Amino acid sequence: MTAEEPVVGVLRGFRWWRLSGDGRLLSPWRGPVRWDPGENESSCLARRGVFGWKMSRAPHPRGCPATRCECGFYALHALPSVNDELDRAIWEIDSATSGGRHGLVLGVVGGYGRTLVGTQGWRSRFGRVLALYAGRFVVGQRRDVEDTAASYEVPLYRDLDAMVAEWGPDRETVESLIA
C-alpha cells in the first residue's frame, strides 16, 4: 500500500475529447460520457453492457478514482506524441491534428479532489475543461470547434505553444509528485 499525500490546488494535464456536433465534448473512447461546462464529477464505468459502458451503481467506498479500477478523469503530464517504435496507444495521436477529420480535439483539463498520479499522467474525481486547441489544418469542423469553446467559455488556441505556455501542467509540481 502506498502512502497518500495531499496536494493543494488543481493539477493540469492534456487530454483528447470527441466533438459531439452540438457544442459538447465527449469522452473519446468510453461511449457517450459527456463533459459539461464547469465542474464535472466522475463516475465508475466498471460495468460494460451489451450497448456500451454503464455507470456502476456500487460506488467505490472512497469515491473515484479507485486504485484497482480505471475510473476517473484522465490527463497526461506532457503533450501526446506519436512513437512509431511502440505499439500505438489511444493517446498517441499527433497533437497538430486536433480538430481534424478524426473528430477529436486536444485541450487542457484541471483535475482535483481525489487524484491518482502516475508517471505518464493522472486521473481525478473532478475535472474542468480549461482550454482547447485546434490545429491550423482543421478540415470541415472549424465552426464546431469554435462553438464548443464558446459553450464551455474556454479559450480556443490555434497556436499549440501558446496554449502550453499559458495552460500546460506545472513541471515542478509534476516532477515532485512522480519523484
Q: Where are the domains of the chain?
A: 12-178
Residue 31 has pLDDT above 60, yes or no: yes
The reported pLDDT for the residue numbered 8 is 72
Residue 77 has pLDDT above 60, yes or no: yes
The reported pLDDT for the residue numbered 39 is 96
Task: Give the number of other Cβ atoms within 10 Å of residue 48's Cβ.
Answer: 11
Rg (CA), the chain: 16
What's the average model confidence in pLDDT over 78-84?
Answer: 74
Higher pLDDT, 74 or 172: 74
CA–CA distance, 105 with 6 (Å, rounded to integer): 31
The reported pLDDT for the residue numbered 85 is 53
Phi, psi of 49 (to 5 degrees): -100, 180
